[in-house]
Amino acid sequence: MKNTNFKKIGLLLLLSSFFNSNAQEKRTSEFRVSYGVVSTNSIINTVTDILTTPATLGAITVDNKISSGVFTISYSYALVDKLNLGLDLAYEAFVSDVISNGKIVNKQKEDDITLALKSNYNYLSKNKFRLYSGLGIGYTLIKNRTNDLSSQGLSFDNSSRFNFQITGIGFRYGGKLGISAEAGLGYKGILNAGISYQL
Tell me: pLDDT of 10 over 80.
no
Q: What is the pLDDT of residues 27-66, one digit of tens each?
A: 889 999 999 999 999 999 888 878 876 766 666 777 788 9
Q: How far is CA 30 from the centre of its chain?
A: 15
CATH architecture label of 2-198: Beta Barrel (2.40)
HEC string of 47-104 equals HHHHHHHHHCCCCEEEEEEEECCEEEEEEEEECCCCEEEEEEEEEEEEEEEEEECCEE
Q: What is the pLDDT of residues 62-99, one digit of tens each?
A: 778 899 999 999 999 999 889 999 999 999 999 988 88
pLDDT category of residue 165 using cuts at 50, 70 and 90: very high
Which CA distances in Å does 21 have to 14, 15, 127, 128?
Answer: 11, 10, 8, 9
Given this model, what pLDDT does residue 14 score? 47
C-alpha–C-alpha distance, residues 93 and 144, integer Å: 10
Pairing, β 177-186 against β 60-67 = unpaired
- Amino acid at the residue 198: Q
With b meaning 16 or more CB within 10 Å and e meaning fewer, what string describes 138-152?
A: bebebeeebeebeeb
Output the average pLDDT for the chain.
Answer: 85
* Higher-confidence position of 155 and 167: 167
Q: Which helix (H) or strand (E) holds 148?
A: none
Q: What share of the chain is helix, strand, coil (3-state, %, to 5)?
A: 20, 60, 20
Quote the Cα angle for 23-27-29, to 5°: 65
pLDDT category of residue 23 using cuts at 50, 70 and 90: low
Q: Taking a C-beta distance cutoff of 8 angstroms, is the pair 146, 111 a contact?
A: no
